[in-house]
Chain A
């Protein structure tokens, strides 16, 4: 169990550093807040509206695709870790095959997304074929 001890100690030390520095700085720093000082920086102008606006759906897609790859790699990590041992035992072929099938299925997904233009970052709200026809891409 003491294998995990350093992790928790490091987290503890990180908190120690953070709160130590914050408390130290609280004791010695000046504090004279003013209304103007506490506005968000918007190039010297008064901020217009809030920054918490609707965001582009592309970010969401990136996160979705990322999670899928993440789960995939989480599934592959144990298999990959034992691959060498299976090779030494002489039955690496089966593991290689299953790994190849696994990756092969996922590569199809990547190819699909690529072909359909889902991997392009800037996508006009016109269709991708429309954009391609006008050469706007």
Chain B
């Protein structure tokens, strides 16, 4: 079934990259969010072709079911998509620039750094293993065993991280801070 693998890989890769490009070029925020949905589904498909079915399912549950809805709600907080209809002096629709020279320099430096790191990482992995037909043993159980033996500390600490996120989410979303309103 190598051909099937190739088909799925091609479809997922096109979905992921095409979705990501559409996100970057979409003018409408909600449309960008929908493209992001497709991009994330494509990434889930890529995980599937690598045999990481648990990660693929997690991608579906957390990103498609959770993060996209969160982003949609966040966009609705700002009043939907009909925000920026700025026309340039040539009468063309344009989006206002976000940031100034300093942020652009920062952004370019960060992007270059990221690319360097990614190249470094990818170089090793590409040369090490071409596309290998992975053994589809139960990845869930392997992850589970790893989580409660080798990486038990990471497992427990992640719960503290999630606790912090929960409390933080609750605090920033309150209408007023309690210290202000007690006066």
User: Do A and B touch, yes or no (CB under 8 Å, in the complex)?
Assistant: yes
Residues of A within 8 A of B (CB): 1-5, 8, 50, 52-55, 57-61, 63-68, 70-75, 77-82, 85-86, 94-95, 98, 101-103, 105-106, 108-110, 112-113, 116, 118, 123, 125-127, 130
Counting chain B residues whose Cβ lies within 8 A of the other chain, the interface size class is 35 or more
A132 to chain B, nearest CB (A): 13
The number of inter-chain residue pairs (CB within 8 angstroms) is: 153
User: Contacts A59-B73, A61-B173, A64-B70 known; A78 to B143 CB distance under 8 Å?
Assistant: yes
Q: Could you tell me if A60 and B160 are in contact, using CB atoms closer than 8 angstroms? A: no
Q: Is the CB of A78 within 8 A of B77?
A: no
Q: Is the CB of A67 within 8 A of B70?
A: yes
A94 to chain B, nearest CB (A): 7
Contact in complex: B148, A79 (CB < 8 Å): yes
10 smallest beta-carbon distances between A and B, as pairs: A52-B80, A78-B144, A82-B144, A109-B166, A64-B169, A63-B70, A78-B143, A61-B173, A105-B159, A118-B170
**A1-B136, A55-B73 known; 11 other A-B pairs, CB under 8 Å?**
A1-B1, A50-B82, A54-B79, A57-B77, A60-B74, A60-B77, A67-B62, A67-B70, A68-B165, A77-B54, A109-B167
Q: Report B-chain residues with C-beta under 8 Å of the C-beta of A59.
A: 73, 76-77
The smallest C-beta distance from B132 to any residue of chain A, in angstroms, reads 13
- Cβ of B102 under 8 Å from chain A: no
Task: Tell me if B81 counts as interface (CB < 8 A to partner A).
Answer: yes
Tell me if A's interface is mostly helix, strand, loop or mixed: helix
Taking CB as reference atom, which chain B residue is nearest A130?
B181
Residue of B nearest to A3 (CB): B136
A55 to B75, CA, bound (A): 9
